[in-house]
Amino acid sequence: MQVTGKVVVVTGGANGIGKALCETFHKAGAAKVVVADMDAANARAVAATVEGAAFRCDVAQEKEIAHVIEETERQFGPIELFCSNAGIGGGFDPMSVNAGGASDEPWQRSWAIHVMAHVYAARYLIPRMKARGGGYFLNTISAAGLLSQVGSPAYSTTKHAAVGFAENLAISHKADNIKVSILCPQGVDTNMLRSIPKGPQSGDGDLTPEQVAKDVLAGLAQETFLILPHPQVLGYMRKKTENYDRWIGGMAKIQAKMREEFGK
Ligand SMILES: NC(=O)c1ccc[n+]([C@@H]2O[C@H](COP(=O)([O-])OP(=O)(O)OC[C@H]3O[C@@H](n4cnc5c(N)ncnc54)[C@H](O)[C@@H]3O)[C@@H](O)[C@H]2O)c1
């Protein structure tokens, strides 16, 4: 798809990758870019620079996503591209003392933001998109959803679940002309990356959010399910499926190195 002339919503659009997506879609001629974020002040600031609109929205709340969809369509017309991009980096423990040890709070928050927010967007948009003959979902996930995130079981698990939902969304609605892409980078230089312990996510170099947004535009134009700003991830996925046990062994070595670093 080309975003030119399209109404686009970006959750988590106030900062980082989402902000770069908003700016890139605006430059590419989107008809309206809607920034939906908990960070209302920065959402308004981004919206002002892209001649867009801002909504304060907690994507973990179904009714707030429903409100963004309803109001966007009422004010600006049908949403042709919905980007579920908001995310959090909670629940990190570089020492990995106990993979099941974190309290429920980071698990539930990650589950709500990384998975249920994507489900809610589909819940409200699928009937509308079906009625008008198609639409597009771009879900920002992570290479952690395809591989793993050493040091964060909650991030890894919920990002894997997000891949599972996106696959099912694409399969269920291919015949409805509803397209899905998943964005799965490794390290991207944003507040989130800076807030978590340094680790293998930066092993192939951190990209700028602007570079990632450029890759998204190219991925959307090609309508590929998988958008990989770090092309190395495809090789890691192949290694994982070729020999799962060897891959687990390799990741465990990375974990051991991380424990050594943080235990100093
Ligand atoms: N930065 C990386 O290295 C990296 C790598 C892979 C995937 N990702 C994913 O990219 C996405 C964007 O992250 P980023 O790196 O730009 O981080 P960021 O912290 O710069 O931006 C995240 C945005 O999401 C918003 N947000 C958080 N929780 C929200 C909620 N409940 N409702 C609405 N908005 C909410 C924040 O206010 C913020 O504006 C996330 O899904 C993240 O998991 C990031």
Q: Domain segments of the chain: what residues?
A: 7-263
Backbone angles phi and psi of 20, in degrees to 5: -65, -35
In this predicted structure, what is the pLDDT of residue 136? 99
Task: Give the per-residue pLDDT at 199.
Answer: 81
Lowest mean pLDDT among 58-62, 190-194, 200-204, 231-235: 200-204
User: Above 80 in pLDDT, residue 176?
Assistant: yes
How do residues 184-223 score in pLDDT, each as one tens digit?
A: 999 999 999 999 888 888 889 999 999 999 999 999 999 9
Least confident of 7-21, 51-65, 78-92: 78-92
Average pLDDT over residues 123-140: 98
Kindly list the strands in the beta sheet with 135-140, ordered across the sheet, starting from the edge strand earlier in the chain. 53-56, 32-37, 7-11, 79-84, 135-140, 178-183, 226-227
Predicted pLDDT at 227? 98
- Global pTM exceeds 0.85: yes
The fold of the 7-263 domain, in CATH, is: Rossmann fold (3.40.50)
* Res. 90: pLDDT tops 80: no
Ligand 1 atom with the smallest distance to the CA of 192 is 19
Name the band, by pLDDT with cuts 50, 70 and 90, for residue 157: very high
> How confident is the prediction for the chain on average, in pLDDT?
96
User: What residues does ligand 1 touch, defined as CB less than 6 Å away?
Assistant: 11-12, 14-18, 37-39, 57-60, 85-88, 113, 140, 142, 185, 187-188, 190-193, 201
Atom of ligand 1 nearest to the CA of 18: 16
Q: Around 75, how many Cα atoms within 13 Å sit in the side-chain half-sphere?
A: 16
Residue with tokens 């801002």: 54
Query: Between the CA of residue 151 and those of 40, 113, 256, what are the distances in Å?
Result: 30, 19, 10
pLDDT exceeding 90 applies to what percent of the chain?
Answer: 92
Atom number, ligand 1, closest to the C-alpha of residue 86: 24
**pLDDT bracket for residue 262 (50, 70, 90):** confident
* Ligand 1 centroid, distance to 246 Cα (angstroms): 31
Which residue type sits at 246? R
Closest CA to 219 of 87, 12, 7, 24: 24
| The pLDDT of residue 93 | 87
Rounded mean pLDDT of 52-58? Answer: 98
Q: ∠101-187-223 over CA atoms, to 5°?
A: 110
